[in-house]
Amino acid sequence: MDLFEKVRQRTGSPIAQLSHRVHGKATFPKLVGEIGTRMEYRGKQMLVWSLNNYLGLANHREVRAADAVSATRHGLAAPMGSRMLSGETDDLELLEAELADYARKPAALFLNYGYQGMFSLIDELLTRHDWLVYDAESHACIVDGVRLHQGRSDRRVRPFPHNDVDWLERVLRRVSRLRAPDEALLVITEGVFGMSGVQGRLKEIVALKEKFDFRLLVDDAHGFGVLGPNGGGTGEAQGVQEEIDLYFGTFAKAGASIGAFVASDPDVIWQLRYGIRSQIFAKGLPWPIVSGNRVRLRIMRTEAWRRERCLAIAGALRKGLREQGLNIGNPDSAVTPVFLEMDHERAERLINWLRGHYNVFCSAVAYPVVPAGTVQLRLIATAEHTLDDVRATVSAIAQAYEEVNADRDIVLAATP
């Protein structure tokens, strides 16, 4: 069978069936203008809750100035080639030292991207003889790393139900009976689960290290720079940062930039430096991104009011939504979900109603990301939002949900 014909026939998935109808709206929407809480969508100004700009650094004057100066000085071509062969810079080495200090680890390795960095990290850490146990609701970058390992060692991979530490303990007990003396074990979870906003139960997982011999890798993309007394992440917030063996963070969320890092023991980081394939076989990031990230990291560390404001807004948002009787689960971060019972058709109407009549823009996902018959709104609080924004949004969501569920004749004049 022709490959292209086979690809064209892949229309059975729920996402594929919806794609043409929701393209440009629920998926691939175009937000225009300066990054912030107010942006333009289809000719109308929206109150936006969909940007990973937790600390409001995207348009910070000092950040923008540093980016511009570095771009003028270095351009976007430098450094050329992979870091290993021709791409090392003083800024890269300084950034890694600063990240290690912030993460309270002896050493750190900067990575081009979080997604590729994570699955390549898992691939480099484990051999086909090693075991991998992971939270079943981990991000796709972790799942893809799991798939790489499964291709080499299918029987040595075990998921555990989301945040179920009792189940994890049972899995670890079974694995301990099956492991040979020369087989290692890696447990992977997240600091903050990005869709639900729920923190991983790091403190309880760390406690299991007293009973079982394993290393812990934590993906803290949504906690780094936001949680903890110093913004050091979820491990810092839960008082167990030192017990996390491999700490993974990214600049794509709180840093409003790109790039990621892993922090751990010096000899482990050295091995990763020479073995992680997504880095040694890829061109390094442009110099302005690296030097700009150093400025972002300094602001994360010195302007505590930004994370305090972000979390205060998230707290107000949670309080308001709960007072409206809406189901938001148990988030404890900058991310707040809203779970609404409705089919795809009503979900589309709800999103159009929020944007067309209330000028509120938030992301929404449906099956298979969430159970069938449910739509999940995802609201991301930032340091730039206000309490007035919270009140307007809570009211809009509650009213739009009521109106759509009432099966009224809705005329979407503003949004086709």
Cα–Cα distance for residue pair 351/18, rounded to 1 Å: 14
Check if the beta carbon of residue 110 is closer than 8 Å to that of residue 92: yes
Cα–Cα distance for residue pair 201/10, rounded to 1 Å: 38
Q: What is the pLDDT of residue 259?
A: 96
pLDDT at 414 > cutoff 80: no
Band (pLDDT 50/70/90 cuts) for residue 24 is: confident
Instruction: Answer whether 0.85 is exceeded by the pTM.
Output: yes
Q: What is the pLDDT of residue 175?
A: 96
**If phi over 0 gives left and psi between -120 and 50 gives alpha, with beta otherwise, what is residue 227?**
beta
pLDDT at 163 > cutoff 70: yes
Band (pLDDT 50/70/90 cuts) for residue 397 is: very high
Q: In the sheet where 335-341 sits, what is the strand order?
A: 335-341, 374-380, 363-365
Question: What angle in degrees, to the nearest 10, is found between the helix axes of 287-302 and 304-323?
Answer: 70
Cα–Cα distance for residue pair 356/29, rounded to 1 Å: 14
Both structure tokens of 256: 């409003």
Give the phi and the psi of residue 191 in degrees, each rounded to 5. Answer: -70, -50
pLDDT at 56 > cutoff 70: yes
- Please tell me the least confidently modeled range out of 9-23, 312-326, 347-361: 9-23
**Mean pLDDT of all residues in 89-105:** 97
Q: What is the pLDDT of residue 411?
A: 43
The letter for the amino acid at 272 is L
pLDDT in tens, 291-326: 999 999 999 999 999 999 999 999 999 999 999 999
**Mean pLDDT of all residues in 334-342:** 93
Q: Tell the CATH superfamily of the 3-55+304-405 domain.
A: Aspartate Aminotransferase, domain 1 (3.90.1150.10)
DSSP E strands, 63-211: 107-111, 131-135, 157-160, 185-190
Average pLDDT, the chain: 92
Cα–Cα distance for residue pair 104/327, rounded to 1 Å: 36
Other CB atoms closer than 10 Å to residue 250's CB: what's the count?
A: 26
**Mean pLDDT of all residues in 30-49:** 96
Our CA angle for 259, 260, 262, nearest 5°, is 155
pLDDT in tens, 176-199: 999 999 999 999 999 999 999 999
Bridge-based pairing of strands 44-48 and 360-361 is parallel
Q: Which residues contact 27 (CB under 8 A, 6 or more apart)?
A: 19
For CATH 3.40.640.10, list the domain ranges present in the chain.
77-302
Q: What is the pLDDT of residue 410?
A: 43
Band (pLDDT 50/70/90 cuts) for residue 151 is: confident
pLDDT at 408 > cutoff 60: no
pLDDT at 416 > cutoff 60: no
**Mean pLDDT of all residues in 82-103:** 95
Both structure tokens of 294: 């150093």
Cα–Cα distance for residue pair 248/307, rounded to 1 Å: 19
Q: What is the pLDDT of residue 263?
A: 98
Question: What angle in degrees, to the nearest 10, is found between the helix axes of 266-275 and 114-125?
Answer: 110
| Cα-based distances in Å from 324 to 83, 366, 382 | 52, 22, 22
Q: Which architecture characterizes domain 77-302 according to CATH?
A: 3-Layer(aba) Sandwich (3.40)
pLDDT at 148 > cutoff 90: no
**Mean pLDDT of all residues in 275-299:** 94
Per-residue burial over 45-81, b if 16 or more Cβ lie within 10 Å, else e, is ebbbbbbbbbbbbbebeebeebbeebbeebeeeebee
pLDDT in tens, 196-233: 999 999 999 999 999 999 999 999 999 999 999 999 99
**Mean pLDDT of all residues in 285-296:** 96
Q: What is the pLDDT of residue 155?
A: 82
Q: What is the pLDDT of residue 231?
A: 96
pLDDT at 413 > cutoff 60: no
For CATH 3.90.1150.10, list the domain ranges present in the chain.
3-55+304-405
Q: What is the pLDDT of residue 365?
A: 84
